[in-house]
């Protein structure tokens, strides 16, 4: 469904086996997992700050607990400083190779111990050179997000669940029938809204006019449900990515349902989740157009 400027798009990524488990016809209401009642969820999301890595610690708290800057470069992996090859220790990094090969072949290294190991070539001086600076070091990473919140900025995630007695009546955002089976099913409506997000310059609100489109809500969910073939089963931690609508003056929004999101991936039968369905959120994060995590579920205060 669409409200005002709110537009929804969904891109779903599931393991193949998820489709097999979700495709079920009429549910037989076994429901022995006793999930309890929990029809509504509202959680705040705060700017995501990267975790502290051991070699990034730059301060110590009063109690002696290591601390790090809230927003900082994060080593994605460790590499040999001169060759860029992955490593775990300095011993993984060669420190001698044939000279002059680096210019014509920047990604090709002829490792050696003595000059005789170096082949004759117009691109080489046939000399085994020493490179003691090629040590295992943290590769410079990207920041968690170049974007920031303006004062009063926020992200909020809402979800509400219900049993739809007649799934055949469900429509997409444009009002077109989803073509689901004429039976009862579980439907969860997911809404996310962020306000007052600024570009990396810390002053300009994100907007589709400036090419700021491509924000997404990435979730990981654990589902327990009454499968027609297998009875009560749990599908462990499947990832889903939803696309926000175009940014407008610092704001992004989305709204979708499990029925509409699943139908394109699992077909009409698989999109009609059994009435006995329990969805446990494992993770939720807002990602910017470069796939950097910008916000995660959390709490924050401002003076």
Query: Quick one: which of 17, 5, 3 has its CA closest to 233?
Result: 17
pLDDT bucket at 55, cuts 50 / 70 / 90: low
pLDDT bucket at 29, cuts 50 / 70 / 90: low
Q: Can you tell me the distance from the alpha carbon of 4 to that of 258, in angstroms, rounded to the nearest whole number? A: 21
pLDDT bucket at 137, cuts 50 / 70 / 90: confident
CB 274 within 8 A of CB 231: no
Domain boundaries, the chain: 9-50+144-297, 75-141
Q: Residue length, the chain?
A: 303
* Span 180-237, pLDDT tens digits: 999 999 999 999 999 999 998 889 999 999 999 999 999 999 989 988 778 888 987 8
- Record the tokens describing residue 180, joined without a space: 């689901």
Cα-Cα-Cα-Cα torsion 95, 98, 102, 106, nearest 10 degrees, comes to: -70
The pLDDT of residue 166 is 94
Q: Can you tell me the distance from the alpha carbon of 115 to that of 96, in angstroms, rounded to the nearest whole number? A: 10
- Please name the helix (run of DSSP H) or strand (run of DSSP E) that holds residue 260, with its range, or none: helix 258-271
């Amino acid at each position: 469904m669409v409200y005002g400027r709110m537009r929804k798009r969904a891109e779903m990524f599931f393991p193949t086996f998820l489709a097999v488990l979700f495709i079920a016809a009429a549910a037989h209401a076994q429901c022995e997992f006793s999930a309890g009642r929990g029809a509504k969820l509202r959680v705040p999301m705060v700017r995501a700050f990267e975790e502290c890595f051991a070699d990034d610690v730059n301060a110590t708290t009063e109690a002696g607990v290591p601390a790090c800057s809230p927003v900082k470069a994060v080593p994605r992996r460790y590499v040999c400083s001169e060759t860029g090859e992955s490593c775990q220790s300095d011993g993984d990094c060669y420190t001698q190779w044939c000279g002059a090969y680096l210019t014509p072949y920047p990604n090709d290294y002829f490792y050696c111990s003595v000059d005789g190991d170096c082949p004759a070539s117009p691109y080489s001086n046939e000399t085994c050179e020493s490179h003691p600076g090629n040590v295992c070091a943290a590769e410079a990473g990207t920041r968690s997000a170049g974007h920031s919140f303006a004062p009063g900025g926020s992200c909020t995630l809402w979800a509400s669940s219900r049993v739809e007695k007649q799934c055949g009546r469900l429509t997409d955002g444009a009002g077109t029938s989803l073509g689901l089976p004429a039976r009862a099913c579980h439907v969860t409506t997911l809404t996310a809204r962020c306000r007052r997000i600024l570009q990396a310059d810390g002053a300009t609100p994100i907007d589709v006019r400036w090419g700021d489109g491509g924000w997404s809500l990435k979730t990981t969910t654990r589902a327990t449900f009454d499968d027609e073939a297998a009875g009560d089963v749990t599908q462990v931690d499947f990832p889903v990515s939803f696309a926000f609508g175009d940014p407008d003056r610092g704001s992004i929004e989305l709204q979708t349902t499990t029925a509409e999101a699943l139908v394109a991936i699992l077909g009409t039968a698989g999109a009609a989740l059994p009435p006995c369905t329990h969805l446990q959120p494992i993770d939720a994060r807002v990602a910017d157009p470069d796939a950097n995590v910008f916000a995660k579920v959390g709490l924050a205060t401002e003076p």
